């Protein structure tokens, strides 16, 4: 059974995250949300084992708890986390999180993998290929609270931000607010 970060380490459940977002939307309270996700986590787990993977998830939880302690930090599940900001310091906090992660993550790799800047592992299709070292991505959204009705709509924006953040080297993506309606 995998260990996940405890509430005291940072994180709140998916339901609590949804409730928080719905509360902000219902009162038209502006916010930004950062979606953090580990890149190349599966090959890391395959090479180093689930205990090491759990330790990396705990590392991310600890970093978020330290740097974003004045904000709402939530564990979506697996290697995904969110931070909800109601102040304008979102970008600075996110950059600090990524910098801290990059400083601390090297302790989790074998020296030869650090030298090679990656390792061989099987992809999701079972093909052996080279993967870069584990990295942390961060997509940031600032939804228009007057256009959004539920956490589902915010989730669509956040998922797109996460997807885009994995495609850029800077690690942070700001998406323009767009109207998302499911009806």
Is 180 within a domain? no
- Which among 8, 152, 158, 34 has a CA at the least distance from the CA of 86? 34
- What is the pTM (predicted TM-score) of this model? 0.86
Q: In this structure, are residues 101 and 60 in contact, taking their beta carbons and an 8 Å threshold?
A: yes
Q: What is the pLDDT of residue 9?
A: 40
Query: Is 125 part of a structural domain of the chain?
Result: yes
* 159 assigned to some structural domain: yes
User: Strand 118-122 relative to strand 80-85: parallel, antiparallel, unpaired?
Assistant: unpaired
CATH number, domain of 75, equals: 3.30.70.270
59 located within any domain:
yes
pLDDT digits (tens, 9 = 90+) for 23-58: 999 999 999 999 999 999 999 999 999 999 999 999
Low-confidence ranges of the chain (pLDDT < 50): 1-9, 177, 179-183
- Per-residue model confidence (pLDDT) at position 4: 41
User: In whole angstroms, what is the distance from residue 132 CA to residue 116 CA?
Assistant: 9
- Residue 171: predicted pLDDT: 66
Residue 134 lies in a domain: yes
In a domain, 108, yes or no: yes
Any residues with CB less than 8 A from the CB of 62 and at least 6 apart, and which? Answer: 9, 10
- Asked if the structure places residue 7 within a domain, the reply is no
User: How far is residue 38's CA from residue 45's CA, in Å, rounded to a whole number?
Assistant: 11
Report the pLDDT value the prediction gives residue 22, as an integer from 0 to 100. Answer: 94
In angstroms, the CA 171 to CA 137 distance is 5
Number of domains in the chain: 1
List the domain range (segments joined by +) for residue 146.
14-175
In a domain, 4, yes or no: no
């Amino acid at each position: 059974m995998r260990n996940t970060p405890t509430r005291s380490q940072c994180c709140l459940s998916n339901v609590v995250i949804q409730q928080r977002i719905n509360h902000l939307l219902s009162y038209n309270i502006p916010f930004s949300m950062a979606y953090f996700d580990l890149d190349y986590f599966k090959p890391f787990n395959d090479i180093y084992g689930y205990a090491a993977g759990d330790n990396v998830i705990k590392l991310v939880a600890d970093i978020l708890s330290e740097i974003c302690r004045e904000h709402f930090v939530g564990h979506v599940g697996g290697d995904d986390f969110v931070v909800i900001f109601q102040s304008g310091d979102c970008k600075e906090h996110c950059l600090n999180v990524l910098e801290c992660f990059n400083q601390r993550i090297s302790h989790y790799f074998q020296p030869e993998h650090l030298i090679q800047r990656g390792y061989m592992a099987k992809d999701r299709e079972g093909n052996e290929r080279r993967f870069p070292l584990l990295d942390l991505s961060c997509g940031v959204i600032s939804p228009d609270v007057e256009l959004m009705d539920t956490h589902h709509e915010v989730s669509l924006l956040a998922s797109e931000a996460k997807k885009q953040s994995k495609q850029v080297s800077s690690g942070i993506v700001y998406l323009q607010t767009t109207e998302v309606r499911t009806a």
